[in-house]
Amino acid sequence: MDYLKLADLLLPTVCETPEYYRTLYPKRNLKPNAMVTRYAPSPTGFQHLGGVFAALISERLAHQSNGIFFFRVEDTDKKREVVGAIEDSTNTLHDFGINFDEGVVDSDSEKGAYGPYKQSDRIKIYHTFVKSLILKGLAYPCFCTEEDLDNTRKIQQEAKINTGYHGKWAVHRNSSLDEIMVELSKGTPFVIRLRSPENTDKRVVCNDLIKGTISMPENDQDIVILKTNGIPTYHFAHAIDDYLMGTTHVIRGEEWLSSLPIHLQLFELLGFTPPEYAHIPTIMKMDGTSKRKLSKRKDPEISVDFYKSQGYPFMSVTEYLINLVNSDFQEWRTQNPLVPCTSFNISFENMSKSGALFDILKLNDISKNVIATMDADLVYDLYLSWAKVYNTTIATKLIENEDYSKKIFNIERLNEKPRKDFVKWLDVAQHIEFFFDDFYKNSIKDGYNFPDHITIEDVNSVLTSYIDVYDYSHDNDTWFATLKELSVKLGYAKNAKTFKKNPELYKGILSDVATIVRVALTNKVQTQDLHEVMQVMGEARVIERLSQKFI
């Protein structure tokens, strides 16, 4: 076979050689253990948690080793492409603080010297390497139609033979140049297939950095590397791109594990040293007593939008995911309570080999702690950007009353054990609305939420006396002592123990008096520390609210 002639017939316009691209993309000049990793989604849908998980692991490993993390768009499947999916990926990476050094920035710009980073812009490169394989007799055209392939599959299934394009079923594998030329002259569409070495009983052994040593049958299929439209398949593009872009570690979902024999074969036939592989376990969830994959249909928490709309700070989700990656993270967090979670060094050794189990309660717990460590200014900023989209009424209040709002967020924040009311931004409004007069007035329209055992007479008598003793300048201790003194004077027991001994002697307990003040001011039975609430509200507002007629 005259491979030169065949190659020129099939890809007549390709004049570059693989050597040309090797020079164009030289070996990266990095420290010996620096990792080069990438996140390479296909723009066929919107971002989901599994994608963020893979991107985060790849980014962390690259940056903690002083390496490079890049973002590649794998858009070889034009039919399944979704408008806006690329921007959705870049926005998600940005929101989660997953910074890439090189890659697609938006639909018409990119950065980095190893591009283009969008596969549809790399067609010339793929064709060059396909041509080089044809020249070596390692690739050939196949003129089978979908129908031909379906028929073959049916026959194979009936005969219980391995399905696919292999062995004697690979009908165009040994076509002569003349036969090929006849088809080409007729304009018959064709794909280019890899001539696999046909070692049916050989096995490939790979040391996956998460799964350990894996042995699988070698690929015996003459897989398609270039489709009829001249676009490569994912497998082929992966080999070329990760080789030229100098990827040292391919970190991707375990759904790709079964394709590994194909990928290793491609690297071998192309004469490239393969990267290291690490296949990340799929994120699972408990459903009753059994584990299952997170499902797009059933589990809203699979989509990145869920975290956005609920208002989980991205730092919380990131911290949760790092916690899912490495089980020793919690111990590290206990020892390093205040540093960003991205200072933790993740490692392949401590990753779980089987499914990572998603647990929203754990995420909530982590998120509560993350928000509790933020200062009031940051809470204000992050909450405001969320509220601008999801709760514009409260956003307006926050903007109009910036200082007041920051004081509200600062309540019990500087304590040794800060208050942990907020799991996510969606929770915030219920804890802060009463500070704003409009909301407060609105809430009392339907009456005050005094507990049933407290009568309106008690409310009025407590509040009338309380206004007389209330002094804005009192510190917490004096404030409490004053409240206690008044309670005892009005016939309330100073604590529950005293009350229980002789309940008939008292109107109630000191805590009832505090509740009366609290409900009058906030219309809630439970709030942040009452003294702090009153200090933040300010004297005038407190007196005004306490002086209402409670009927």
What does the DSSP 8-state code read for residue 48?
B
- The answer to whether the peptide bond before residue 116 is cis (omega within 30 degrees of 0) is yes
Q: Which stretches of 36-108 are assigned E, i.e. beta strand?
A: 36-39, 68-71, 102-106
Q: Residue 40 or 486: which CB sits closer to ligand GLU?
A: 40
| Strand duo 249-253 + 283-287: pairing | unpaired
**252 to 291: interface string for ligand GLU, x by CB under 6 A:** x---x-----------------------------------
Q: Please give the Cα distance from 535 to 404 (Å, whole number).
A: 11
Interface residue with ligand GLU, options 10, 40, 85, 269 (CB under 6 A): 40
| Separation of alpha carbons 93 and 502, rounded Å | 64
Do the bridges between strand 283-287 and strand 290-293 make them parallel or antiparallel, or are there none, so unpaired? antiparallel
CA atoms within 13 A on the CB side of 460: 7
Any bridge partners for residue 36, and if so which?
68
Q: Which of 42, 91, 364, 443 binds ligand GLU (CB under 6 A)?
A: 42
Binding mask 112-151 for ligand GLU (x = CB under 6 A): ----------------------------------------
Considering beta carbons, is residue 196 or 247 the nearer one to ligand GLU? 247
Residue closer to ligand GLU (CB basis): 41 or 112: 41
φ/ψ of 297, rounded to 5, equals -80, -45
Phi then psi dihedrals of residue 136, to 5 deg: -95, 5
Tokens of 198: 């046909």
166 is an interface residue for ligand GLU by CB under 6 A: no
**Smaller CB distance to ligand GLU: residue 275 or 313?**
275
CB of 255 to ligand GLU, least distance (A): 8
Q: Which is nearer to ligand GLU, 55 or 536 (CB)?
A: 55
Q: Which is nearer to ligand GLU, 250 or 537 (CB)?
A: 250
Within 184-243, the residues that bind ligand GLU by CB under 6 A are 238
Site mask for ligand GLU (CB under 6 A), range 45-84, x = bound: -----------------------------x----------
Interface pick for ligand GLU out of 10, 14, 41, 281 (rule CB under 6 A)? 41
Q: Which helix or strand (DSSP H or E) is residue 9 part of?
A: helix 3-10
User: Tokens 């009936």, residue?
Assistant: 158
Q: Which is nearer to ligand GLU, 42 or 498 (CB)?
A: 42
Alpha helix (H) residue ranges in 167-251: 177-186, 234-244
Applying CB under 6 A, the residues found at the interface with ligand GLU are: 40-42, 74, 238, 250, 252, 256
